[in-house]
Every structure is written in C-alpha cells, then in structure tokens.
Amino acid sequence: MNANNTTPQQGAAVKVGAVVGFLIFVELTSGFIQGYYLPLFGSIAQHLGVSDADITWFNTIQTLAAAVCVPILAKLGDMFGHRRMLRIGIISVFIGVLITAFVPSYPAVLAGRLLVGPLAVWLPLEIAIIHSRIQGETGRKAIGFLVSALTGGAVLGSIVGGLFGSRLPIVIALAVPAIIVLLCVIVVFTVVPDSFERNPVRIDWLGFILLAVSMLALLFGMRLAQAEGFASLTPWACLIVGFVAVAVFVWWELRIPNPAINIRVVTSRALWPAYATSFLFGMALFGTQTITTTFLAAPGAEVGYGFGFKTSVIGLFTAGSALCAVIGAAVFANLARVITIRGVLLLAVSVAAVGNIMLAVGHTSLTVVIVSIVASGLAGGLLLGALPALVAERSPRSETGIATGLYNTLKTLGGALAGAVFAVVLSAFTAPGAAYTSAGGYVSVWIICAAGFALAALILLLVRVQGTQTMALTVQDAETEINTEGVTE
C-alpha cells in the first residue's frame, strides 16, 4: 500500500506486522554487527599488522562517526523521510563492512569504520517510522521489541564472532557481516514502509557543522583523557574547543527560525528529564563494561577482590546481563500500562542504584555480584526501552527522528565521560608499578554510578503524569505549551 495514499490510521492497521517484524530484523542485524567484531580484535590486528593499541581505533573511529552522523541523519529523516535516511545509512554500513573485510589496509579499514558510523542512527530512524504509524501501548511494545532485538543481536554476534573467528580464515569471518547487512538492504528497499510526517524546512548547515565539531571535540577529548588522564593539556584543549562549539551552537540555534535542533523543545520540562536520565544512564551502561570484566577476572587470592574467572566464564556473565536487558526492554510496555512510563523509569533507576550499592558493599560475595548483575541488566533493559519511547511520545511529530537521535547521542556522551572519569578513578587507587588497582577504585566507581542513578530518580520526579492517552505535539505546541503539559499515558 502506498503511504502517500494511506492515512496514518489505515497504515497503522495494515502495516503493523510488516513495520515491526522487518524492523526487528534490521535492529537484530545492528546488534549483531556491534557484537560480532569484539572477539575478533586480536585476529584483526594480526591480519592488518598493527598493535593492540592501534586496533582500539577500530571502535573509536566508529563512535566518533556515529556522534556526527546520528543527529544529522535523524534530522534529515524528519525533513526528507526516515526510510530514505535509513536506506542511506544501511548502504553506508554495507560499504563499510565490505571494505573492512576485503581491503587489507589499516587506513582503508579505518575509512570503512567511518562508513559504519550510521549504524547508530538505524534505531532512531526506526523508532520514528514506528511512532508515525503505531501509537499507544502497541507502539511502546514495538519499540521494546526493537531494543530487545538490538541487545539480543549483540549477544548473538559476539558468540558467532568468537566461533567463526577461531574456525574460519579471518577474511571469510569478516565477510559474514556483509552478508547479513546485504539482507537488510533488501528488506529496507523492498518491504519497510516510510513514515508519514515531514518537516520541510531549510537545512541549518551551520548548525550541523557546529554540532559535528562539538561532538568530535568532546568525544575525542574524553578519549584522550581516558588514555592520558586529565593532567595532560591535550584532552583539555579538545574539551575546551568542544564546550565553546556547544555554546556557539546553542546561541545560533536560538536565533534562527529553523534550527538543526530545537533547543527550546529539548530543554522543555517534557523532554529534558528524559535526556538528562539518558546521559546518566549512558555513564553506567558504557562506562562500566570493561570495569566489570576486569573485576571478574582479577585474582581474588592475590589482590583481595575478583574471582579469577577466565574469558569464557566472563562471557557468560556478559551474555546473562544482556539477556536480562532483552527481557526488561520487552516487558517495559506491559509494566508501563500498570505503573505509567514514569513509574517504569523510576523503578529502573532505583533498582540500578541498589544494584551498584550492593556491589560496593558486598563485592566479595559471588552471590551478591550475580544478583547485582541480574538486577542491573533488567533495569538497563527497562531504561533502554522506556527512554526512547518517552522521548518519541513527548517530541513533536515532525521532529521524532532528531529527538530520539539526540537521546542516542547523549547516552554515548555519558559513556565517553564515564570512561574518562572512571579511568582516572582507578588510576588514583593503583600503586606505581602495580598490575592491579585496589578494591577502593572499583567501590568508588560503583558509588558514582549509584549516585548517578539516584540523581536520575530525583530528575524523573519532575516528569508529570496525567491523562490516559498519549498526545502528539506540533512544534508550535511544543514551544508554547510543552512546559506546562505533563507526560501523558
């Protein structure tokens, strides 16, 4: 059925199965790609003839590219069609994984990883398509299924990548993502429908440039801070450039009629609590991934903490946490029907805070660690599902793409900041020449995470809940009434 000749209501009735089913496959692929390369880093480094330190740029380049392209492609999706930008993003990723597989040159592979950056914008664009066609609890469930597919795909990708990497020549193993993405290309170009809303305004090129400069400078500065520490001048130089670019960006966006990001909507009471929570959640989600791994691997008999687990056992913990997140994301909509979406968010951040406190005080007990990891996984899944759903519901219909894209970007920024701060914290508790930090470093990280979630709970209390049905806002409504409206259910 042609979207141009179909009302949103008819499209929702006819296309629900197609929209959700095919987009779940696309997001499963997104997760698969993100998880697949992780166990292959060592083999890729040997294949390309680079050091372990150099191969860390394999992920860093993609993160920097994502920080730039997510808000841009999401905004262009609002303007010219979310499916069109999704197609562009998928073609870019397809070319990137082909280069990664078949061009045995490190600079070329890094260029390929730049092209994989739009992988991060798939989810915001998919949420915009769903939100355009499916409303209410069904829409929330669909978003939850997308997030579950993303998380489950990452687990599947990590497992398959480990198996294929150890049994297949590296070139053939690296070709697997290309085959999977090619299937996504076919799906998106043949059966995925488009969204209905358009926001045909002039492109704010200067705003996009300032946004790109600020994201690159901030993320690169925090990456350098993680490696060199905040005592070095280089990270601070990048961070200062980033903060200045952000200030100029905000000043510019408030002065033009068609901004790249509507600052007044973003900072409204209906949305800023969700964005602030996303940033704090990103700190714990991305900032503690390697910390949990190193803690579990530490030899407890020698250093007084950890359990000396091997990589295979740690992988089970990682997979278990991810599967708990899959469950949390899948059930958040059902839970929101009973306790409201704000109730789900408050429950999630509270459970996450308690989980981190449990680790801080009981990390010597394996039982406590397991319970904490399960609780944090479930809480993370609830947040991964509920936060983008809340942002989509409270954003103007014509700006759903950029609204959910900004949620993704802030989550990434939170993780980058946490990575830098936590590296400094652990270093402060590491004696000169020592191979391991003291337990106080890990305890400090968990206390910081618990405090972050407690702050998120206080922020979420500012979100109002009233009514029984989700209301869509126009841009004018958002700018004139959004500060007095509550989050409707």
| CATH assignment at residue 80 | 1.20.1250.20
Which runs of consecutive H residues, i.e. helices, occur in 363-464? 366-394, 400-428, 439-460
Which residue, of 259, 277, 306, is where some domain finishes?
259
List, in sequence order, the alpha helices (H) in 168-271. 170-190, 205-228, 233-253, 263-266
413 with 287: CB under 8 angstroms?
no
Helix axes 439-460, 311-362, angle to 10 degrees: 70
pLDDT in tens, the chain (489 residues): 344 444 444 444 445 666 788 899 999 999 999 999 988 888 898 899 888 778 878 888 898 899 889 999 999 999 999 999 999 999 999 999 999 999 989 999 999 999 999 999 999 999 999 888 887 888 899 999 999 999 999 999 999 998 898 889 999 999 999 999 999 999 999 988 887 777 777 889 999 999 999 999 999 898 888 778 888 899 999 999 999 999 999 999 999 988 989 999 899 888 999 999 999 999 998 888 888 888 998 888 888 888 998 888 888 898 899 999 999 999 999 999 999 999 999 999 999 999 999 999 999 999 999 999 999 999 999 999 999 999 999 988 888 999 999 999 999 999 988 888 888 888 888 877 677 888 899 999 999 999 999 999 999 998 876 543 334 444 444 444 444 443 333
Domain containing 239 equals 204-259
Burial bucket for residue 231 (CB in 10 Å: 0-12, 13-18, 19+) = exposed
Q: Are 97 and 36 within 8 A, CB to CB?
A: no
| Structure tokens, 146 | 């997308």
Q: Return the biggest CA–CA distance within the chain.
A: 70
Contact 401, 261 (CB under 8 A): no
Q: Are residues 254 and 362 in the same domain?
A: no
- Residue 196 near residue 8 (C-beta atoms within 8 A): yes
Say if residue 294 is in the same domain as residue 336: yes
- Same-domain check for residues 427 and 470: yes
How many Å apart are CA 281 and CA 40, to the nearest integer?
A: 28
Q: Do the Cβ atoms of 83 and 132 come closer than 8 Å? A: no
Nearest to residue 159, comparing CAs of 298, 311, 21?
311
| 394 and 418 co-located in one domain | yes
The residue out of 242, 259, 276 marking a domain boundary is: 259
Say whether both 405 and 443 belong to one domain: yes
Does 241 lie in the same domain as 197? no
Q: State the Cα–Cα distance between residues 474 and 460, nearest whole angstrom.
A: 23
The answer for residues whose C-beta is within 8 angstroms of residue 369's C-beta and 6 or more apart is 296, 307, 359, 362, 363
For residues 228 and 183, membership in a common domain is answered with: no
Residue 192 sits in the same domain as residue 241 = no
The residue from 186, 201, 216 where one domain ends is 201
- Looking at the fold, whether 20 and 149 belong to one and the same domain comes out as yes
42 and 125 part of one domain:
yes
Instruction: Indicate whether 222 and 142 sit together in one domain.
Output: no
Whether 441 and 452 map to the same domain: the answer is yes
User: In total, how many domains does the chain have?
Assistant: 3
CA distance 39 to 44: 10
